[in-house]
DNA sequence: CCTATTTGACCACA
DNA sequence: TGTGGTCAAATAGG
């Protein structure tokens, strides 16, 4: 956790320094663009710091409790095959990503994941893939996800997320902050790889965009499966986290690839910002169907989320953002 | 070379 | 002891 602490400290310190810098540029003679850039950078720093704190807090708060997630078989199979097994806590609720066609493989959610395992799951027809953020060691990003093809509908992928992304893809192309003896040579190679990566993501998103109309993200409220488990205090946290994961994905799904719209290539930390302002609304949307006992599945279309993702105060007109 | 994936081994936990 | 999660060596691929 030393890395996390130092990064947190660094982000907060940077935020303070930038604020001081901004103060100097408050003069009307100073160009407004500079203020805008500084403001954006400050927000970026603080959001990153907050994002890290959220993750730590989440780890502490949810660890002792039993996960509200059922076994993977709980959804695919009827309840008689369900085992009340404590899965690894801290996972977000399940999201079901449907491609609408027989589109091969799990959908690209905009992040770089590295597969580290695959396991056949008892009672499931399809194996579960285990992924972690590519930047786990380079940037200490602790985001994880599990992907499993649904038994009911093989075109649907059930995706579960754990942790939030603290990585910053924008910083990849910039020289790495970590001390490295082979920095210069690694940098060239890295930026080259980054280009390939971006190209790959671009292609995926283009495909995704063409699928947008048929794309569905569903969640299931597992309180129906765990009626005896009620965590009124934590449920808000969980909803928030779930929404965060959901937002991150939708963010990726709707990301345009054109160069003129930089906003959508923004880091997840900004999703967090928007999330905080609109969380109650989103939570309401998502938790509303929990009272519906016979249909716990929620369909969320892109447009409803897209509206919420837009922050009217966001500086759309600033091309320097994240550069 | 380097990075990503595959896959059997290993481990923790119930 | 069985299961799900993770590790790490082997392998693939650019």
CA-nearest of A321, A322, A323, A318 to A32 is A318
Minimum-distance residue to B2 (CA–C1'): A189
pLDDT in tens, A12-70: 888 888 899 888 888 888 888 888 888 888 877 776 666 656 544 443 333 333 333 33
Q: CA A322 → C1' B7, Å?
A: 39
Classify A161 as helix, strand or coil. Answer: strand
| Kind and range of the H or E run holding A119 | strand A113-119
Strand B footprint nucleotides (protein C-beta < 7 Å): 2-9, 13-14
Q: In this predicted model, which residue has the larger pLDDT, A91 or A124?
A: A124
Strand B contacts in A 89-148 (CB under 7 A): 112-119, 129, 134
For all residues of chain A together, what is the average pLDDT? 54
Residue A299 phi, psi dihedral angles, 5° rounding: -100, 125
Q: Which residues contact A197 (CB under 8 A, 6 or more apart)?
A: A112
The phi-psi region of residue A137 (left if phi > 0; otherwise alpha if psi is between -120 and 50; otherwise beta) is alpha
Count Cβ atoms below 10 Å from residue A1 Cβ, excluding itself. Answer: 9
What tokens does A143 get? 């985001």
Q: CA A192 → C1' B10, Å?
A: 36
**What's residue A215's pLDDT?**
41
Q: Is the CB of A13 under 7 A from strand B?
A: no
pLDDT in tens, A200-247: 444 444 444 444 433 444 444 333 333 333 333 333 333 333 333 333
Q: In this predicted model, which residue has the larger pLDDT, A313 or A94?
A: A94
Strand C footprint nucleotides (protein C-beta < 7 Å): 2-8
CA-based max dimension of chain A: 72
Distance CA A225, CA A168 (A): 37
Q: Is the CB of A125 under 7 A from strand C?
A: no
Q: CA A119 → C1' C4, Å?
A: 8
Classify A162 as helix, strand or coil. Answer: strand
Mean pLDDT within A102-120: 75
Nucleotide nearest A132, CA–C1', reads: C6
> Using the 8-state DSSP alphabet, how is residue A155 labeled?
T
Q: CA A122 → C1' B13, Å?
A: 17
Q: Is the CB of A161 under 7 A from strand B?
A: no
Q: CA A161 → C1' B3, Å?
A: 24
Q: Is the CB of A87 under 7 A from strand C?
A: yes
Nucleotide nearest A87, CA–C1', reads: C4
């Amino acid at each position: 956790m030393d890395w996390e602490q130092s990064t947190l400290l660094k982000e907060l310190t940077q935020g303070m320094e930038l604020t001081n810098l901004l103060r100097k540029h408050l003069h009307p003679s100073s160009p407004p663009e500079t203020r805008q850039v500084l403001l954006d950078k400050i927000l970026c720093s603080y959001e990153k710091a907050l994002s890290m704190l959220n993750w730590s807090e989440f780890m502490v708060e949810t660890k002792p409790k039993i996960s509200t997630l059922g076994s993977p078989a709980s959804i695919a199979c009827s309840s008689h095959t369900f085992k009340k097994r404590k899965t690894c806590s801290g996972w977000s609720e399940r999201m079901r990503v449907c491609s609408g066609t027989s589109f091969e493989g799990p959908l690209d959610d905009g992040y770089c994941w590295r597969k580290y395992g695959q396991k056949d799951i008892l009672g499931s027809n399809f194996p579960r893939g285990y992924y972690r953020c590519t930047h786990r060691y380079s940037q200490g990003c602790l985001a994880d996800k599990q992907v499993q093809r649904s038994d009911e509908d093989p075109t649907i992928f059930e995706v579960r997320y754990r942790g939030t992304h603290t990585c910053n893809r924008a910083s990849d192309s910039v020289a790495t902050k970590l001390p490295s003896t082979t920095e210069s040579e690694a940098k060239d190679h890295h930026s080259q790889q980054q280009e390939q990566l971006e190209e790959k993501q671009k292609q995926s998103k283009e495909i995704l965009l063409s699928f947008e109309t048929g794309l569905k993200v569903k969640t299931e409220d597992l309180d129906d499966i765990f009626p005896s488990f009620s965590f009124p205090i934590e449920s808000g946290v969980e909803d928030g986290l779930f929404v965060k994961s959901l937002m991150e994905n939708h963010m990726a799904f709707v990301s345009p690839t054109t160069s003129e719209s930089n906003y959508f290539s923004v880091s997840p930390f900004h999703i967090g910002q928007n999330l905080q302002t609109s969380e109650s609304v989103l939570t309401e949307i998502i938790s509303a169907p929990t009272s519906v006992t016979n249909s716990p599945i929620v369909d969320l279309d892109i447009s409803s989320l897209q509206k919420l993702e837009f922050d009217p105060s966001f500086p759309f007109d600033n091309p320097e953002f994240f550069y």
